[in-house]
Structure 1
Amino acid sequence: MVRFPHKLLASVVALVATLLPPASAESERRYTNPVSAPAADTFADPAVIRGKDGFWYAFGTGDPLRRGDRVHRLLPITRSADLTRWEYVTDVFTQASRPRWAATGAGLWAPDVRYVDGRYLLYFTVTDTIMNEGGDAAVGVATAPSPIGPWTALDAPVVPPVPGDQGRFWSILDPAMLTDATGRRWLYYGSYYGGLFVVPLSDDGTRMTGSATRIAIGDRYEGAYVVRKNGWYYLFVSSGNCCVGPATGYSVFAGRSRTPTGPFVDRDGISLLSSRVGGTPVLRQNGNRWIGVGHNSVVTDSAGQDWLVYHGIDRSDPYLDEPHGVTMRPMLIDRLDWIDEWPTVRGASTGRQRAPVISGDSFSRDTVSPGWRTPAPAWHVKGGVLRHSSPDTSRLRSTESLPVNAFVELDVIGSAGVSMGGVTVMLDRDAAALVTDAHGIQRTPLPANFRYDTWHSLTVTVRGGVLTAAVTDARLGDPFAEQTRALPEHLGDDFAIIARGEASVDNVSAERAAQPVRRAEPEPRLGRLDRSASDEFDGELGAGWSWIRGDPAAIVRAGALRWPTQAADLVGANNNAGVLLREPPRGDYVVETRLDLDLGEGSARNFQQAGLIAYANDDDFARLSHVAIWNTRQLEFGRELPHSGRLLYGQQTLTAPAPTTWLRLAHTVDPGSGEHRFRGGSSRDGERWTWGGTWTFPAGSAPRVGLIAHGGNTPAVTASFAYFHVHRG
């Protein structure tokens, strides 16, 4: 167990007693977002780890923590006993201990925390260094014996800055570390403009040991975070602008690969390196109070349920202090499910939610707790850790029965593990392997660099006659040894800790395994086609259309509305682009079009686009378009709105477009507030649809719907709309 400094011990004991409920109450606990509220008003880019002391620790970007606090923190640290109630502890650095190579005034952003071979590692972005001419970002790393420090920054960056204009242009590096299935360490980093990369690290995680591999194209993603599941490496990435107050559309996507270096592809098989860039939606705003939801980490509770930890923005209260200052991004947490082998969150939650299951015996007393039977002489508690000292194999039996479907976890040093109904699972130093014995022994070799004298985490899931065991550094979804096997037909319900030789055990829990979610959330329903409100573009432009700044180049020909993209735009104060509109029906409806727009690939064509629009006025609209953004081609769901005397524009992104793309806007009216909600959807074949996030308009605003084609006319390109359909709800 990592020991706290003496002055903090009393507060830690009090926190356990106050925050961690009895095990019998675990299934009844509830929480409400934002979970960081007791500790901070804003806590962006959260990275979370369960320390070897049994507490959870979150590390955030260096913004001020509270309203009126003008001091940017040097990477704040918060602590929780249950993942839902947090207290501020300290900052990673002081002015005296911050990296010496960081420029004065540089921001310290986007931390990632890991545990490697007996110490904690923290990776972080430094926005400016003294190593070049200035304005150059780098990735630093610091080490500590415990999550609260003391943290010591290494004398040089682990990813050095890029000199010159490229370094100034590429200002955020958002690092995250991974240990792969062989025990090799990798660091992911990068952001917009430069792209995302992965580089191999030394065994201790502090140095680059090879060249970088690009894993995602520029101009689309940042905030990489990777977990391994079912033999796949899943790359979580964030897209959109993070910090535009009430116009923020940040959201999370995923791709996966069989190797840590990619190529990562989405559910449709489209690479994140493609110019028409792929990405499967994981988390997007759903029309409630939370927008700009992104920059995640992943944790697993004591029932084996994964949770996404991320930041979001309250659209009704988006700034820390005066309007247009620091965008306030508190920390949120929601259940992460795996449906058809892809990660998904049903949306940022409001109201009371079922809390993560958190339990475990951390052996904080001087003797073995009453939950265990009278131990043999080989077992004793010392320094808050359960220790085994006999050369022979022995068991410490629990007084509780093992659930039929169970999730078991513990931290171990040496040769130790668990025995469940006659089946054993343990880390075996002599065999240099993860070893299971279930009417037959099976060994999974551990990496050659595996340290048996430092803590590692062992998890075991028993479900439906199948046992799955995994070994990690700190339960962060990156196992370097896994094993799955069938169980005997009649498995008993006894549970015990097992060890051989000098060994230590801590943070032991055995809970009923979480029930997996198999069904995705329902998609917007497509009602009957309202032909009177639709247009097949099979003759002249149908009745019911009206123009804002009519464009004579837009004509109906050969069964389509053909509209050359204009050298004009709607964003900002110019408002010189044409908009073709019609009045929608009352209530719920879905508008759809098929758009043929070939923007080419790989070249900079900012910002030619065409698509659907929900339009209240020139300064209040939501635009779903196929758009060229530098060398990428994206589906952007952008929103412009006025706020506190300024015009703001932000965007969400959807999955990859194609030269022919189907687009939908699903409109609903919130029954409580009367707000208009528009959710964007897209398809590459007109059959399978992927839905993105939602933008809202105030009650009474009565937005119209229609089409746009603008953003530039060089080279000349024509958008072709095959139809405009309105389906009533």
Structure 2
Amino acid sequence: MKSLLSTLAIAVSLAVPSWANAADIAPKPLYRDPVFDGAADVSIIYDRAAKLWKMFYTNRRAMMKLPDPDDVEWVHGTAIGIATSRDGVKWQYQGTADFPKACTDATLWAPDVFYEDGTYHMWLTIVPGIFHRWGVKGAEGRIEHLTSTDLSKWECAGTVKLDTGRMIDPTVVKLGQGYRMWYKDERAGSRILAADSKDLRTWTKVSDQPVNPTKGEGAKVFRFKGHYWLIADVWKGLMVLRSDDALNWTELPGYILGAPGRKATDRHKGQHADVVVDGDRAFIYYFVHQQNEAEAATDPRWNQRTVIQVAELVYKDGKLLVDRDADLSFQLHAPSP
């Protein structure tokens, strides 16, 4: 009898996936940059050769303690950090990305990575220099397209050229036989606009009008539960737009991740997110400033620090819901070839 019970116990343990154990609940923070402690603006892609998930992110120099509290030098001069994971839960720092100097500059922000037919495409925000104030002359951002076959060696593939300037924070999806990019147009009052392309090189505005009236940045577009969704950072949480055609959008009431979480390192609004759809589940990776943590009481620059968190997006009654305080066990699976 004892032998039979032992056999049954082993069988049950083998039937339960390892990621369902309490030890594999996603930690808070999910990821913290070990060099500058300023990870933000993530883009997550599966490396098909290495069989790893890779996180590319804006690597803010958050530990800088500048004498002038209004000095934003620490948000400039930023490389793109890289972390890797086998399951999307446990991440390890891998250094910074090596991009060609011919099409980049001192300040790199908000990567967006897309895979198709053996090639990885990255759209990257470039700011030409290091600046000490927002909105100064010469600090106009642009979007560069880079390509790679291994997520390591990158080639310049052209500047995104439209009849506007100060374009940042792109996200790209494939629609039918073409592609659509959404981006923040700072000359359109910091609203989200869209452009189309047949070849990922030449882009044409969909309209001179933004996708909706709300100001925002860091848009992410994805398909989930039969709808297209656009999530963007509106500085009081993330607005959520829903569409059936990725052209006409309805803004849903309220903002997700706007209310602070209750757990340490997650006690401020969620910002500039990426979303990974894995089968019938979707996971939102977002960054959080650390100004509500205990360390901020004695360190006036602690608020500059940012960490990456993850939560599950739940579809209910035509909306997306997020419980950032819920214990979350999951494992990202390799995408289909």
TM-score by length of 2: 0.76
Q: Distance in 2 between matches of 1:136 and 1:38?
A: 27
Q: 2:277 aligns with which of 300, 325, 328?
A: 300
Structure 2 matches for 1:247-266, cutoff 5 A? 250-262=236-248, 264-266=249-251
Q: Distance in 2 between matches of 1:334 and 1:258?
A: 24
Q: 1:42 aligns with which of 26, 38, 44?
A: 38
- The question of 1:111 aligning with 2:97 is answered no
Instruction: Give the deviation of 1:189 after TM superposition.
Output: 0.1
- The question of 1:237 aligning with 2:244 is answered no
Structure 2 matches for 1:185-334, cutoff 5 A? 185-190=179-184, 193-203=189-199, 205-209=200-204, 211-217=206-212, 220-240=215-235, 250-262=236-248, 264-267=249-252, 279-286=253-260, 288=262, 289=264, 290-301=267-278, 304-314=280-290, 315-316=292-293, 323-324=300-301, 327-334=304-311
For the pair shown, the structure with the greater C-alpha radius of gyration is: 1
Q: Could you say which residue in structure 1 is the equivalent of 2:54?
A: 57
- The question of 1:89 aligning with 2:94 is answered yes
* CA deviation map 1:331-383 (0-9, x unaligned): 11111111112112113x38xx23212456xxxxxxxxxxxxxxxxxxxxxxx
* CA deviation map 1:192-232 (0-9, x unaligned): 624211100233x2331455453345662111111123442
Where 1:31 maps in the other structure, the secondary structure is coil
Contact 1:125 1:140 (C-alpha < 8 Å) held by counterparts: yes
Amino acid at match of 2:242: R
Q: Distance in 1 between matches of 2:220 and 2:122?
A: 14
Contact 2:162 2:203 (C-alpha < 8 Å) held by counterparts: no
Structure 2 matches for 1:625-644, cutoff 5 A? none
Contact 1:23 1:359 (C-alpha < 8 Å) held by counterparts: no
Where 2:287 maps in the other structure, the secondary structure is strand
* Distance of aligned partners of 1:195 and 1:37 in 2 relative to their CA distance in 1, 3 Å threshold: closer
Instruction: Give the deviation of 1:307 after TM superposition.
Output: 0.6
Instruction: Give the deviation of 1:58 after TM superposition.
Output: 0.7
* Distance of aligned partners of 1:83 and 1:317 in 2 relative to their CA distance in 1, 3 Å threshold: farther
Amino acid at match of 2:271: G
Instruction: Give the deviation of 1:72 after TM superposition.
Output: 4.0
Instruction: Give the deviation of 1:329 after TM superposition.
Output: 1.5
The percentage of counterpart residues that share the same residue type is 19
* CA deviation map 1:306-351 (0-9, x unaligned): 11011012312687x963487211111111111112112113x38x
Structure 2 matches for 1:624-663, cutoff 5 A? none
Q: Distance in 2 between matches of 1:160 and 1:76?
A: 28
Amino acid at match of 1:157: T
Amino acid at match of 1:91: T
Structure 1: 5+ residue runs without aligned partners? 1-20, 241-249, 268-278, 361-408, 412-729
Amino acid at match of 2:159: P
Q: Distance in 2 between matches of 1:22 and 1:72?
A: 49
Q: Distance in 1 between matches of 2:304 and 2:177?
A: 39
Where 2:304 maps in the other structure, the secondary structure is coil
Where 2:82 maps in the other structure, the secondary structure is strand
Structure 2 matches for 1:662-677, cutoff 5 A? none
Contact 2:194 2:211 (C-alpha < 8 Å) held by counterparts: no
Q: Distance in 1 between matches of 2:242 and 2:214?
A: 19
Amino acid at match of 2:336: L
Q: 1:78 aligns with which of 78, 83, 86?
A: 83
Instruction: Give the deviation of 1:67 after TM superposition.
Output: 7.2
Q: Distance in 2 between matches of 1:295 and 1:121?
A: 20
Q: 2:329 aligns with which of 355, 370, 382?
A: 355
Q: Could you say which residue in structure 2 is the equivalent of 1:340?
A: 317
Q: Distance in 1 between matches of 2:140 and 2:82?
A: 26
Contact 1:136 1:161 (C-alpha < 8 Å) held by counterparts: no
Amino acid at match of 1:153: C
Where 1:114 maps in the other structure, the secondary structure is strand
- The question of 1:153 aligning with 2:149 is answered no
Where 1:284 maps in the other structure, the secondary structure is coil
Cα RMSD after superposing both structures = 3.2
Where 1:338 maps in the other structure, the secondary structure is strand
Amino acid at match of 1:27: A
Larger relative helix fraction: 2
* Distance of aligned partners of 1:317 and 1:293 in 2 relative to their CA distance in 1, 3 Å threshold: farther
Q: Distance in 2 between matches of 1:224 and 1:46?
A: 12
How many residues are matched?
297
Q: Distance in 2 between matches of 1:217 and 1:300?
A: 24
Q: Distance in 1 between matches of 2:115 and 2:55?
A: 14
Amino acid at match of 1:284: G
Instruction: Give the deviation of 1:286 after TM superposition.
Output: 3.3
* Distance of aligned partners of 1:213 and 1:340 in 2 relative to their CA distance in 1, 3 Å threshold: farther
Q: Could you say which residue in structure 2 is the equivalent of 1:706?
A: none
* Distance of aligned partners of 1:326 and 1:76 in 2 relative to their CA distance in 1, 3 Å threshold: farther
Instruction: Give the deviation of 1:252 after TM superposition.
Output: 0.8
Contact 1:227 1:235 (C-alpha < 8 Å) held by counterparts: yes
Runs of 4+ in 1 over 6 A off after TM superposition: 65-68
Q: Could you say which residue in structure 2 is the equivalent of 1:33?
A: 28
Where 2:31 maps in the other structure, the secondary structure is coil
Structure 2: 5+ residue runs without aligned partners? 1-13, 66-73, 130-136
Q: Could you say which residue in structure 1 is the equivalent of 2:142?
A: 138
Amino acid at match of 2:156: A
Structure 2 matches for 1:4-15, cutoff 5 A? none
Where 2:19 maps in the other structure, the secondary structure is helix
- The question of 1:125 aligning with 2:106 is answered no
Amino acid at match of 2:251: D
Contact 1:38 1:87 (C-alpha < 8 Å) held by counterparts: no
Q: Distance in 1 between matches of 2:276 and 2:18?
A: 21
Contact 2:33 2:39 (C-alpha < 8 Å) held by counterparts: no
* Distance of aligned partners of 1:22 and 1:30 in 2 relative to their CA distance in 1, 3 Å threshold: farther
Q: Distance in 1 between matches of 2:53 and 2:219?
A: 21
Contact 2:260 2:269 (C-alpha < 8 Å) held by counterparts: no
* Distance of aligned partners of 1:358 and 1:34 in 2 relative to their CA distance in 1, 3 Å threshold: same
Contact 1:215 1:261 (C-alpha < 8 Å) held by counterparts: no
Q: Distance in 1 between matches of 2:116 and 2:83?
A: 21
* Distance of aligned partners of 1:57 and 1:85 in 2 relative to their CA distance in 1, 3 Å threshold: same
Amino acid at match of 1:139: I
Q: Distance in 2 between matches of 1:334 and 1:63?
A: 23
Instruction: Give the deviation of 1:60 after TM superposition.
Output: 0.7
Q: Could you say which residue in structure 2 is the equivalent of 1:272?
A: none
